[in-house]
Structures are given as C-alpha cells and as structure tokens.
Structure 1
Amino acid sequence: MTIFPEENDFLSLFECEPMLLDSNSKDLPFYYNQATYRFSNGEEDFIVTLSPSYGEVKVQATQRSSNRLISLLELKRVVKFEITADKKDRSSVLLTVVNEDSQQMIEIEFKPYFQQIFKEHFTG
C-alpha cells in the first residue's frame, strides 16, 4: 500500500482546494480519487495531480512570466509521499519510488522557489 498524507495535509501544503476527478460521489475517499492542485509561489506556477491509491504523482512547473515549461515529472509507482516542509515561506516534499533493484528519491521544493533533486540508490 502506498503512503500518502491526508487530504487536509495537502490543503495546507498547496494552499488551495483540489479539483477532484470524481466530484459527484461524496462517499469516495480522497485516497481513491484523483486530485489536481493548481497554485503558484509568485515565480512559478504548478499543477500537481495525485492518485494516491495508484501511487501516481504528476508535477508540472512553468515559469510564470513566460509560461515556459520548467519541469514535468510523471511518476507511476510512488510508494511514499512525505511532506518535508509546510510553512508560509517554505514548502517541500520527498517522493520515494521503489524499483526491483533501486530506490529513487525525488525532493521537490515549491517555496520559496522551485527546485527538484533526483537521487537513485541501488538496493540489490
């Protein structure tokens, strides 16, 4: 089972309400839905789409002034999504992807500015 924060944690982190794929079913838990968050840090605009039950995470960052794509990260096997900072002036997450013989760690900072660090460690 994948480990993702609760819906309220994402509201605090991204400071916005998500667009839910299945917004008609009020009984569908957040974990089984798909949520898309759109927010900005003033310099960059972000679109983050989460499907916790599938372990899918998509993070798109564009430069606000030019609307130029800076980064697109589309992950299909995230086993752990950790919020490492959730403050007014600083927010960041750590994503963990486990493969057969390696573990990938992706650190993403949203505030004060966008930064992405990708590390892979062999486990086999």
Structure 2
Amino acid sequence: MAIFPEENEFLSLFECEPTLFDTISKDLPFYYNKSTYQLSNGEEDFIVTLSPSYGEVKIQVTQRVSNRLVSLLDLKRVEKFEITADKKDISSVLLTVLNEDSQQMIEIDFKPNFKLVFKEHYTR
C-alpha cells in the first residue's frame, strides 16, 4: 500500500483546491480518488495529478512566460510520497519508487524555483 500524506497536507503544500476526478461519490475518500492541482511559483506553472491508491504521481512543469515544457514526470509505482518542506517560500517533496533490485528517490522543489533530483540505489 502506497504511503501518501493526508488531503489537508496537500492543500497546505500546493496552496490550492484540487479538481477531483470522481465528483459524484461524495463519500469517496481522498486516497481512492484522483486529484489534480494547478499552481505556480511565479517562474513555473505546475500541474500535479495524484492517485494515491494506485501510487501514481504525474507532475508537469512549464515555463510561465513561454509556456514551454520544462519537465514531465509520470510515475506509476510511487511507494512513498513525503513532504520535506512546506513553508511560505520553500516547498519540496521526496518520492520513493521501489523496484525489484533498486530504489529510486526523486527530490522535487516547487518553491522558490523548480528543481528535480533523481537518484537510484541498488538494493541487492
């Protein structure tokens, strides 16, 4: 089972309300729904889509001025989603993907500027 923060923690991190995939089932828990957050840090615009029950995370980053795609991260097996910083001027997360013989760690800064660091470690 994938480990993701609670809905209110994402509201604080992204500073916006998500668009939910399933809006008909009012009792559907956040963990089982698909949520899309649209936010900006002034330099880059982000579209973050989360499906916690499936361990899916998609993060699209575009340059605000030119609308040029800067990064697209589309992960299907996120084991753990950790918020590492959630302050007014700094926000970042750490994503962990487990494979048979390796562990991938993806560090992402949303504020003050976008940064992505990808590391892979062998577990055998």
Do they fold alike, i.e. is TM over 0.5?
yes
Partner residue, 2:119: 119
Match of 2:88 in 1: 88
Q: Residues 105-116 of structure 1: matches in 2 within 5 Å?
A: 105-116=105-116
The 3-state SS of whatever aligns with 1:59 is strand
2:2 counterpart of 1:2: yes
Q: Name the SS for the 1:47 alignment partner.
A: strand
AA of the residue aligned to 1:42: G
Distance 1:88 1:44 in 2: 16
Trace 1:65-76 onto structure 2 (pairs within 5 A): 65-76=65-76
TM-score (norm 1): 1.00
Q: Cα distance, 1:24 vs. partner?
A: 1.3
Partner of 1:23: 23
Note the residue ranges of structure 1 that are not aligned, 5 or more in a row: none
Aligned residues between the structures: 124
Structure 2 distance, partners of 1:94, 1:82, is: 5
SS at match of 2:57: strand
The answer for unaligned runs of 5 or more in structure 2 is: none
| Residue 47 (structure 1) shift | 0.1
**Secondary structure in 2 aligned to 1:100?**
coil
What SS does the aligned partner of 2:103 have? Answer: strand
- SS of equivalent to 2:12: helix
Where does residue 36 of structure 2 map in the other structure? 36
How far the C-alpha of 1:15 sits from its partner, in A, is 0.2
Percent identity (aligned): 80
Any idea what SS the aligned residue of 1:118 has? Answer: strand
